[in-house]
């Protein structure tokens, strides 16, 4: 199908497109709520701390050791989008569910951030540690930082929604959280190394 034929088809079915977008927005809210509940339960059972709301792209979590107070964290992992591939015409997806399911231009994941050191010295430091997590599923990207892609299978999620059991389609989220927990000490070692280099305790 040519781009012109696609354009004509979209206009001919504009009412269906409008209805579909409204239904998808409603469904996205239900899935987002289920994810917030899943993440909150996971954090409570693992003694980690959480902050934010998933569908506002500000969700952060960390081991309790990294939180000095409610508004001061030494480091954390946050929900983030990877960069769109170079040459992508439409870099931002219209629906965050497309990104979550790996069906759009970008992909969701968990990115590591630290809050103790200035951006410039940290960037210089971390570029020299790109191999630190070699052999794991974390990707060292151009941020620069370590990024763990998270992809929910759309067919499994669709089946779970049809069965009114959304959680059944979100198991990759829990698996990714468990993976972050299994590897967080590697990030703690980076933080401690940077502290020593800065002349800290």
pLDDT band, very low/low/confident/very high, at 104 (cuts 50, 70, 90): confident
Split into its structural domains, the chain has a count of 1
Pick 17 or 56 by higher pLDDT: 17
How large is the angle between the packed helices 3-12 and 14-46, nearest 10 degrees?
Answer: 90
Query: pLDDT tens for residues 13-51?
Result: 899 889 988 998 999 999 989 988 998 899 999 999 988
Output the average pLDDT for the chain: 87
Alpha helices in 13-153 (DSSP H): 14-46, 96-100, 119-127
Would you say 133 and 106 are in contact if contact means Cβ atoms under 8 Å apart?
no
Query: pLDDT tens for residues 138-148?
Result: 999 888 899 99
Query: pLDDT tens for residues 89-103?
Result: 456 788 889 999 999
Structural domain of residue 13, as residue ranges?
A: 3-197
Task: Please tell me the predicted confidence (pLDDT) of residue 89.
Answer: 47
Task: Please tell me the predicted confidence (pLDDT) of residue 170.
Answer: 95
* Residue partners of 193: CB distance under 8 A and separation at least 6: 129
C-alpha to C-alpha distance for 5 and 134, rounded to whole angstroms: 46
Report angle CA 25, 35, 141 to the nearest 5 degrees: 95
**pTM assigned to the model:** 0.87
Query: pLDDT tens for residues 2-16?
Result: 889 888 988 898 998
Please tell me the number of Cα atoms within 13 Å of 129 on its side-chain side.
19
Q: What is the mean pLDDT of residues 109-126?
A: 91
Output the CA–CA distances (angstroms, integers) from residue 73 to 7, 48, 143, 148, in the order listed. Answer: 48, 12, 20, 20
Report angle CA 48, 51, 52 to the nearest 5 degrees: 145
Task: Please tell me the predicted confidence (pLDDT) of residue 163.
Answer: 93
């Amino acid at each position: 199908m040519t781009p012109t034929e696609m354009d004509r088809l979209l206009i001919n079915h504009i009412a269906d497109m409008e209805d579909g977008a409204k239904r998808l927005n409603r469904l996205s809210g239900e899935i987002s709520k289920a994810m917030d509940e899943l993440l909150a339960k996971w954090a409570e059972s693992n003694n980690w701390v959480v902050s934010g709301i998933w569908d506002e792209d500000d969700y952060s979590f960390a081991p309790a050791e990294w939180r000095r107070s409610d508004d001061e964290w030494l480091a954390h992992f946050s929900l983030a989008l990877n960069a769109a591939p170079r040459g992508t015409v439409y870099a931002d997806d219209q629906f965050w569910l497309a990104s979550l399911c790996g069906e759009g231009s970008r992909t969701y994941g968990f990115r590591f951030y630290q809050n103790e050191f200035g951006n410039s010295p940290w960037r210089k430091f971390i570029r020299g540690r790109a191999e630190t997590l070699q052999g794991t599923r974390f990707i060292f990207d151009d941020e620069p930082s370590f990024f763990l892609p998270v992809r929910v299978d759309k067919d499994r999620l669709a089946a779970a929604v049809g069965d009114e059991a959304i959680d059944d389609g979100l198991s990759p989220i829990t698996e990714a959280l468990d993976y972050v927990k299994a590897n967080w000490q590697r990030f703690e070692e980076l933080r401690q190394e940077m502290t020593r280099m800065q002349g800290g305790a």
